[in-house]
Amino acid sequence: MRIELALDAVADAAYDRSYFHKARGRIWRGLENDDTFSETHDSNHGVGFSYSNIFPWGQIEEGDRRYFRIASPRRGLLDTLIAHFGRERAFEIGQMRFTIDDITGHAPDVGEAGSTGVLETGTGVHCALGRQLAEEYNLDTSKIDAGESETELFWRPKHGMEPLQDAIRRSLQQTHELYGDDYYDGPGEVDEPLFDRIEPIKDDVVYPVRFQPATAVDRTVLLSKWRFGYRVRDETHRYHLNLALDSGIGQRREHGFGFLNLTDKTLPRASD
């Protein structure tokens, strides 16, 4: 599930490439008066949302129409945000200032068993490999030992695709355990992969981005963007893929990383 805000720019502005912390703060303003959500603020127990960048990308001129999407597997969270944005129409991300003209709800679905399609990351995937995961894949942990990478390694192509896919699956499993549907096994509880095809969107595969996880905390993170092909095996796999659409993939999703869009879908033919 997701909501889309249609935004009208009220002033000229340069596009802020380090919007993450400010955008997250604007969303939290809509949740701060509800104890259901506010109690998890600044905790390691994520409240469960992800968000797109403001799109289309580029220099902003007064009167421009832009869009912003927020996704979550929690219907109540989105309902709270709809009510808030309905009252508070100002939407400001630093110098990027808008008014909310319209709010729409969407529930993208990858399709029934046999459907094929493509998911694409609208924002970069944050994938940091902790010591345990790095050691499981026999990766060099000397930078962790030397304190050059804090306690984690950012995934790079030289690490191979398996650690990346495993990190994505583990983080989605955590979301399943927090906010998913108990009727289904989680993505970490089945042997089959989430996706049957993975292609990088950017030629350089990984790229650095300035990231402020909190006020006065400034760091650089390595991100990557991906195109994922899928063929829905069964209802459990359909649930996993739709959960990824609702929650994003990778880590730091509540900071705006790993937002997914469904860009192509073909339903099975009657004879399949």
Q: Active-site residue numbers?
A: 41
Q: Give the DSSP letter string of 51-62.
A: E---BS-S-B-T
Whether residues 70 and 190 fall in one domain:
no
Residue 91: which CATH number?
3.30.70.1890
The residue out of 74, 106, 138 marking a domain boundary is 106
Cα(247)–Cα(194) distance, integer angstroms: 14
Q: What is the pLDDT, as a whole number, of residue 144?
A: 76
pLDDT for 42? 63
Same domain, residue pair 145 and 74: no
Number of structural domains, the chain? 2
What is the structure's pLDDT at 151? 61
Domain that holds residue 165: 115-266
pLDDT of residue 47: 84
- In this structure, what token pair is assigned to residue 128? 């940091």
Please report whether residue 92 resides in a domain. yes
Let me know: does 65 contact 54? Beta carbons within 8 Å: no
Strand order in the sheet with 197-200: 197-200, 226-231, 116-121, 260-266
Evaluate whether residue 272 is within a structural domain. Answer: no
Which DSSP letter does residue 112 get?
Answer: S
pLDDT tens column, 209-268: 888 777 777 888 999 999 999 999 999 999 999 999 999 999 999 999 999 999 999 999
Answer yes or no: do 164 and 65 share one domain.
no
Block means of pLDDT (10 residues each) for the chain, 272 residues, are 97 90 92 80 75 95 97 95 96 95 97 97 92 89 71 87 95 94 96 95 90 78 96 98 96 93 91 62
Q: What is the DSSP string of 115-133?
A: -EEEEEESS-EE-EEEHHH
Determine the pLDDT at residue 150.
57
Give the model's pLDDT for residue 183. Answer: 96
What's the predicted TM-score (pTM) here? 0.92
Mean pLDDT, the chain, as a whole number?
91
Specify if 258 maps to a domain. Answer: yes
Burial of 117 (0-12, 13-18, 19+ CB in 10 A): buried
User: Do 31 and 81 contact (CB within 8 A), yes or no?
Assistant: yes
Check: CB of residue 215 under 8 Å from CB of residue 231.
no
Counting beta carbons within 10 angstroms of the beta carbon of residue 254, is it exposed (0 to 12), middle (13 to 18) or buried (19 or more)?
buried
Looking at residue 177, its pLDDT comes to 95
C-alpha pair distances (Å), 165 with each of 128, 138, 174: 12, 16, 14
Give the end of a domain, one of 81, 106, 131: 106
